[in-house]
């Protein structure tokens, strides 16, 4: 059976997450339903990351096995036709080796978390960013973020129900970017990169660094929280709507 990699973009708002759940809409269900319109009995698909309810993606990667030898362009066009009106799009498709796996072949995942500081309610970006009321100190946030880089026990930033075998992970990048906006507000983007993540790790980082940016925490408090290895020492977990799975890396380019 030919195997294909799919590059996916989706609005996570209407979904209970990537993974299939009983009686709840999922992104996986939407993609598999579109595949079933092309071929019956398509095997279950696998994704690089199981995003939570409300989390978006601009660079999710999944793979599927087909019976027919589709051209990647025709496969993506057909899937996009059958995905409507779900807010999911196939923005790229590629034929891959039979043993290639969207999750297990990945060498890194990249996330972006968006925070917008503005007094007025957001209309066009509602549900797609985390809105806060007061401006944030990006330099202080970066100083706090620097304490999290490298290999650490991230128990403090790990959800209680996380199923990972170990809380030890290596964080390759946590960069704070301040973006100028034309509406008088301020946007902070956190760029986060690692081979793999713990459950709620990025949202825990975002909530903690927001506390630093607001002045409620010092950058040194982030270091102390990390070293405590205690979930109770984490800042508030940021809401899901600001989080985007922005890309997945592989040993060789796929798309």
Catalytic residues: 52
Q: What distance in Å separates the CA atoms of residue 209 and residue 131, rounded to the nearest whole number? A: 14
Cis peptide before 113 (omega within 30 of 0): no
Q: What is the DSSP string of the chain?
A: --EEEEEEEE--TTSSBSS-BTTB--HHHHHHHHHHHHSTTPPPPEES---BTT-EEEEEEEEEE-SS---HHHHHHHHHHHHTTSSEEEEEEEEE-TT--TTTT--EEEEEEEEEE-SSPPSTTTTTSEEESS---HHHHHHHHHTT-EEEE-GGGS-TT---S-SEEEEEEEEEEEEE-TTS-EEEEEEEEES---TTHHHHHHHHHHHHHHTSS-HHHHHHHHHHT-GGGS-PPPPGGGEEEEEEE-SS---
Q: What distance in Å separates the CA atoms of residue 20 and residue 173, rounded to the nearest whole number? A: 30
* 82 contacts 30 by C-beta, under 8 angstroms: no
Locate tokens 């579109």: which residue?
Answer: 34
Paired with 187 in beta bridges are 116, 179
């Amino acid at each position: 059976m030919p195997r294909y990699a799919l590059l996916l973009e989706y609005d996570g708002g209407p979904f209970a997450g990537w993974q299939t759940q009983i009686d709840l809409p999922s992104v996986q269900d939407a993609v598999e339903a579109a595949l079933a319109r092309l071929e019956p009995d398509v095997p279950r698909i696998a994704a690089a990351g199981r995003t939570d309810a409300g989390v978006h993606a601009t660079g999710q990667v999944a793979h599927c096995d087909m019976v027919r030898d589709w051209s990647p362009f025709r496969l993506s066009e057909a899937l996009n036709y059958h995905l409507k009106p779900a807010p999911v799009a196939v923005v790229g498709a590629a034929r891959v080796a039979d043993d290639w796996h969207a999750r297990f072949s990945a060498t890194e995942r990249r996330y972006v978390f968006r925070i917008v500081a503005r007094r007025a309610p957001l209309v066009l970006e509602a549900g797609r960013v985390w809105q806060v009321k007061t401006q944030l100190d990006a330099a202080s946030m970066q100083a706090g973020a620097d304490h999290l880089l490298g290999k650490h026990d991230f128990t403090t930033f790990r959800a209680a129900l996380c199923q990972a075998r170990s809380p030890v992970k290596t964080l390759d990048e946590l960069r704070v970017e301040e973006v100028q906006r034309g509406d008088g507000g301020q946007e902070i983007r956190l760029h986060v990169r690692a081979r793999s993540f713990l459950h709620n790790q990025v949202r825990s980082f975002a909530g903690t660094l927001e506390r630093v940016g607001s002045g409620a925490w010092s950058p040194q408090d982030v270091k102390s929280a990390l070293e405590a290895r205690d979930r109770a020492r984490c800042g508030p977990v940021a809401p899901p709507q600001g989080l985007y799975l922005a890309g997945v890396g592989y040993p060789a380019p796929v798309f």
